[in-house]
Amino acid sequence: MTDQRFRVAVVVAQQTLPSEETLKNLFREISLEVVLQALLAVLITYGLLIAIRSFTTAVSENVPRRFRLIIKQSVPFLRGIVLIGMGGYLFNLLLNVTGPNLVALTGTLAVALGFAFKDYVSSIIAGVVTLFEGPFRMGDRVQIGDHYGEVVNYGFRTLRLQTPDDNTVAIPHSIAWTDAISNANSGQLEAQVVTQFYFAHEANIELAVELLYQAAYSSRYTQLKLPVVVIISETPWATQLQLKAYPMDARDEFVYKTDLILRIKKACAHHQLPYPQVPDLSQEAAGNASGAPTIHFTH
């Protein structure tokens, strides 16, 4: 938040502050007992949030695989119910809720929060809207901006992605709301894996296609209920083959891809299928030094 925005927020908040009499009527008498009750409510809520996450994680990892995502997708709703319950309890505990008091409170908070905590509030609102729109759910594998991974937590202000490198990335809901989201599995266990291979133009492409199909259908990770497809395209320097298949569990995406590559390379070596020749890096370097074209392919 910039200094100018903060100063504007302070000025507006000062102009909209309720009168002293309104404040007296707004809050209940704050005693030590009330404070202790509020603290106890916060601690219980915090414990429930941790318990929900731990319990659902433990259960989802120990049930049949087809139920895992269903259990994980219930986490945001359960956490939302707990937070709403805590907010309502504290609201009733600390405030004297009447019609005029409620109008004075919401007006002041709306103006103050709108300026001073715009980004924070927008992330919370975006999180609530995203929860019901459902562009992704817990357990989905999504690409948001430069980050790709599995949605492992859906918090009040952020969602967390676990990347293939086992890093956890926290992304504010406001960013997920405005950026494009690419969802690989959309609530399903399977997510398509695309494996690309390049062969020299003189290679027997029909044989190469057959080897790719054999690799997919013989892998123990392949979901055989879903289609396996090989797409061929031509480039000036090679023939490109794309193997599109589904693992039984989206979590096995990279293990599956590795298994396919190993099988295909072993089969190609056995049948001596030629790969395209790589660019001549020495000529490329010389081209950079002399200003000549930088990429040279040999056929």
For residue 240, the model assigns a pLDDT of 94
For residue 228, the model assigns a pLDDT of 94
Q: What burial letters (b/e) apply to 97-124, b meaning 16+ CB within 10 Å?
A: eeeebeebbeebeebbeebbeeeebbbb
For residue 292, the model assigns a pLDDT of 43
Output the tens digit of pLDDT for each of the chain's 299 residues: 455 655 655 555 555 555 666 666 667 777 888 888 889 989 998 888 888 888 888 887 777 777 777 777 777 778 888 888 888 888 888 877 666 666 666 666 666 666 666 677 777 777 777 777 778 888 888 898 889 988 888 777 888 888 888 888 988 888 877 888 888 887 788 889 999 999 999 999 999 999 999 999 999 999 999 999 999 999 888 999 999 999 998 888 899 999 999 999 999 999 999 988 876 655 555 555 444 444 443 33
Q: Distance between CA atoms of 235 and 61, rounded to whole angstroms?
A: 44
Task: Say if CB 232 and CB 215 are below 8 A apart.
Answer: no
For residue 9, the model assigns a pLDDT of 55
DSSP notation for the chain? --HHHHHHHHHHHHHHPPPHHHHHHHBPP--HHHHHHHHHHHHHHHHHHHHHHHHHHHHHTTS-HHHHHHHHHTHHHHHHHHHHHHHHHHHHHHB---HHHHHHHHHHHHHHHHHHTHHHHHHHHHHHHHHHH-SS-TT-EEEETTEEEEEEEE-SSEEEEE-TTS-EEEEEHHHHHHS-EEESSTT-S---EEEEEEE-TTS-HHHHHHHHHHHHHH-TTB-TTS--EEEEEE-SS-EEEEEEE-BSSGGGHHHHHHHHHHHHHHHHHHHTPPPPPPP-HHHHHHHHHHTS-S-----
Q: Distance between CA atoms of 212 and 57, rounded to whole angstroms?
A: 37
